Amino acid sequence: METETIEGVTTPVAHSWAHQHTIDLLRLQLTPVLGPRRLRTGSGDLVLPGTADCYVPDLAVVPAELARVDGALCPDQTVLVVEATSPSDAETDRTVKRRRYAQFGAPLYLLVDRQERACTLFSQPGALGYTRIEGPHPFGVPVRLPEPFELDIETGEF
C-alpha cells in the first residue's frame, strides 16, 4: 500500500471506487488535450524540498519529459495538481495541501470536494497561498482550466 507524509505524519493512501471514478472522469476529459501539449497524467510522489513531506496527489499533470523520471517530482514541476476529497482526508485537502502546494509552486490546484459537491480552482501560487480562487462551483457547473489546457471540465457526473 502506498503512503504519503503530510506535516511529518505518514499515512496510507487508499481510495474508494467512487473516489477513483471521479478522478477517472477528470482524466478522460483531460486526455484529448494532453498529447498535443506534450503533457502526461499520473499520481506519482511530489516532495516538498526542505521538509520530510511527500504527497501522492490523486492526479497530477506534468510535462511529458518529466513523466519518465524515476523518483519524485516537486509541485513546481507540475502543470496541474488535483485532489478529490474523501471523508477521512477532506480537511487536509482543503487546507494543508492547498497551502503547501501554493508554497511549493504548483501553478494550478483543482480541489474536487466530494463531500461539499463542489470544485474550486486555485492559481497564482505564492508563499502565503494561492492569490486567485475560482469557486467553489457546484457539481454540474463547468470549471474552466486556463493555459495550457483551455478546457471546460464538466463536473455533473462527479
Supply the CATH classification number for the domain 3-153.
3.90.1570.10
CA dist., res. 46 & res. 103, Å (int): 13
- Residue 89: the pLDDT is 87
When pLDDT is cut at 50, 70 and 90, the band that residue 4 belongs to is confident
CA nearest to 102, candidates 70, 126, 83: 126
Q: Are the CB atoms for 53 and 45 separated by under 8 Å? A: no
Distance CA 156, CA 152 (A): 12
Q: Quote the pTM value.
A: 0.94
pLDDT tens-place string over residues 21-75: 999 999 999 999 999 999 999 998 999 999 999 999 999 999 999 998 888 999 9
Residue 7: pLDDT band (50, 70, 90) is confident
The predicted-structure confidence for 8-35, as pLDDT tens digits, reads as follows: 788 777 788 899 999 999 999 999 999 9
CB of 79 closer than 8 Å to CB of 63: yes
- What tens digit of pLDDT does each residue of 126-141 get? 989 999 999 999 999 9
Q: Is the pLDDT of residue 155 over 70?
A: yes
What CA–CA distance (Å, rounded) separates 85 from 83? 6
Whether the predicted pLDDT of 115 surpasses 90:
yes
Name the residue ranges covered by the structural domains of the chain. 3-153
* Amino acid 1: pLDDT: 62
Q: What pLDDT, on a 0 to 100 scale, did the predictor assign at position 137?
A: 98
What's the average model confidence in pLDDT over 106-135? 97
